[in-house]
């Protein structure tokens, strides 16, 4: 297929591009380096600097003989997006091109505005580019399990059947995002839902849990092809942070009681899931939703596993509870369904001691680059009493 990857420079976008190109798809990645800029501005650079897209694409081609095309473009620019779609004629696209950090979106008015503008207008421009230049294109959007919040009922895969006053209907599952970022993702889904009904678009929404990992099969022989590995409090996911803290000798920062439950998955399984839904597109006019995770853990579960593996590798790993900077329930019911992707053929990489040890080994090689100032929480959700 001809597959367009929006946000193809990112933690998920770049390994997705390699994964699909290695399997002989015709891949074009688009990015404007927004995440790199925001990371510099917030002193949240990744552990290992990454080359720019032209250099990465050239290195991948030299290593594998497979070609990844690239284009530097602002995905909120509607005219430029339509031109790119008309030129490439994608049969499918993977939409990663969003400001991905809940903490960043809660830093202040400017950061919230940037998050809403970038995320919503990128989705809007994508929709119009598809309608104008590639109407049969399958849109695969990376959403977030955080959109659901922590409801006191089971979380279904995107849709729920309800009965009210004697009548039944099937509606999008109620969502309650815990940040401006998550709220922007909810609005994305609403926009795409409307377009499937009004204009027959075909859309898959992947409600993804936090991702962990540092490498993939396609990058295994050249660390310079690894994705960005953020370990900071703004752009780093929790398990990547904990592994880095363990190596740096910083006690693992468990927010509050640490009993918050979320669904997690290995970076390699994100690639599997995307490939599976690309191979199984929905019908025109259908919005299909999958909950994309493989295992449930509390934050304290993850900290305990990192401590145990770290100590086996000779590290002195401690755990420290810190005041929770987020406004979230720390003890809650959480039972999300997630069998749709398994039915499509997902073969999960469950979190193992070997995977954690591999991550620790990678971070150890770059121990001197760790900046401990990036680890402790620097962003707190405002109190209700704040003006």
- HEC string for the chain: CEEEEECCCCCCHHHHHHHHHHCCCEEEEEECCHHHHHHHHCCCCCCCCCCCHHHHHHHHHHHHCCCEEEEECCCCCHHHHHHHHHHHCCCEEEECCCCCCHHHHCCCHHHHHHHHHHHHHHHHHHHHHHHHHCCCCEEEEEEEHHHHCCCCCCECCCEEEEEECCEEEEEECCCCCCCHHHHHHHHHHHHHHHHHHHHCCEEEEEEECCEECCCCHHHCCCHHHCCCCCCCCCCCCHHHHHHHHHHHCCCEEEECCCCCEEEEEEHHHHHHHHHHHHHCCCCCCCEEEEEECCEEEEHHHHHHHHHHHHHHCCCCCCEEEECCCCCCCCCCCCCECCCHHHHHCCCCCCCCHHHHHHHHHHHHHCHHHCCHHHCCCCCCCCCCCCC
* pLDDT higher at 384 or 279: 279
Residue 15 placed within a domain: yes
Query: Is the pLDDT score of 385 beyond 70?
Result: no
Query: Is the pLDDT score of 48 beyond 80?
Result: yes
Residue 385 placed within a domain: no
Task: Provide the domain count of the chain.
Answer: 1
pLDDT in tens, 82-93: 999 999 999 999
Residue 280 placed within a domain: yes
pLDDT in tens, 323-337: 999 999 999 999 999
Residue 115 placed within a domain: yes
Residue 386 placed within a domain: no
Residue 383 placed within a domain: no
What pLDDT, on a 0 to 100 scale, did the predictor assign at position 170? Answer: 96
Mean pLDDT of all residues belonging to the chain: 97
Query: Is the pLDDT score of 242 beyond 60?
Result: yes
What pLDDT, on a 0 to 100 scale, did the predictor assign at position 138? Answer: 98
Query: Is the pLDDT score of 106 beyond 70?
Result: yes
Residue 338 placed within a domain: yes
pLDDT in tens, 61-87: 999 999 999 999 999 999 999 999 999
Average pLDDT over residues 301-323: 97
Query: Is the pLDDT score of 29 beyond 70?
Result: yes
pLDDT in tens, 127-156: 999 999 999 999 999 999 999 999 999 999
Average pLDDT over residues 8-16: 98
Residue 248 placed within a domain: yes
Residue 387: pLDDT band (50, 70, 90) is very low
Query: Is the pLDDT score of 384 beyond 90?
Result: no
Structural domain harbouring 67: 2-374
CATH number for the domain harbouring residue 153: 3.40.50.720
pLDDT in tens, 168-180: 999 999 999 999 9
The pTM score is 0.96
């Amino acid at each position: 297929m001809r597959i367009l990857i929006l946000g193809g420079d990112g933690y998920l976008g770049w390994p997705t591009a390699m994964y699909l190109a290695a399997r002989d798809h015709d891949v074009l990645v688009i990015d404007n380096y927004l995440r790199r800029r925001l990371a510099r501005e917030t002193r949240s650079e990744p552990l290992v600097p990454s080359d720019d897209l032209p250099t990465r694409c050239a290195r991948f081609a030299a290593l594998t003989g497979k070609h990844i095309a690239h284009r530097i473009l602002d995905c909120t620019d509607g005219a430029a997006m339509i031109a790119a779609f008309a030129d490439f004629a994608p049969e499918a696209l993977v939409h990663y091109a969003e400001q991905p950090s809940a903490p960043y979106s809660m830093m202040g008015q400017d950061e919230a505005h940037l998050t809403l503008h970038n995320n919503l207008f990128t989705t809007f421009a994508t929709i119009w580019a598809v309608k104008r230049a590639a109407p049969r294109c399958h849109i695969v959007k990376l959403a977030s399990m955080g959109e659901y919040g922590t409801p006191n009922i089971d979380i279904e895969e995107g849709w729920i059947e309800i009965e009210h006053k004697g009548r039944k209907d099937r509606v999008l599952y109620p969502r309650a995002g815990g940040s401006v970022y998550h709220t922007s993702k909810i609005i994305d889904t609403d926009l795409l839902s409307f377009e499937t009904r009004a204009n027959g678009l075909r859309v898959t929404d992947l409600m993804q849990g936090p991702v962990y990992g540092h490498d993939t099969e396609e990058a295994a022989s050249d660390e310079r092809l690894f994705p960005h590995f953020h370990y900071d409090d703004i752009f780093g996911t929790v398990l990547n942070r904990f592994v880095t803290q363990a190596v740096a000798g910083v006690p693992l920062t468990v927010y509050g009681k640490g009993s918050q439950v979320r669904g997690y998955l290995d970076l390699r399984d994100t690639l599997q899931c995307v490939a599976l839904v690309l191979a199984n597109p929905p019908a025109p006019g259908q919005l299909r939703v999958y909950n994309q995770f493989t295992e449930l853990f509390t934050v304290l579960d993850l900290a305990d596993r990192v401590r145990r593996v770290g100590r086996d590798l000779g590290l002195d790993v401690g755990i420290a509870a810190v005041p929770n900077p987020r406004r979230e329930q720390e003890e809650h019911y959480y039972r999300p369904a997630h069998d749709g992707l398994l039915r499509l053929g997902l073969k999960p990489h469950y979190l193992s001691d070997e995977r954690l040890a591999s991550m620790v080994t990678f971070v150890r090689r770059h121990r001197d680059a760790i900046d401990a100032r990036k680890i402790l929480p620097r962003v707190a959700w405002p109190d209700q009493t704040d003006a």
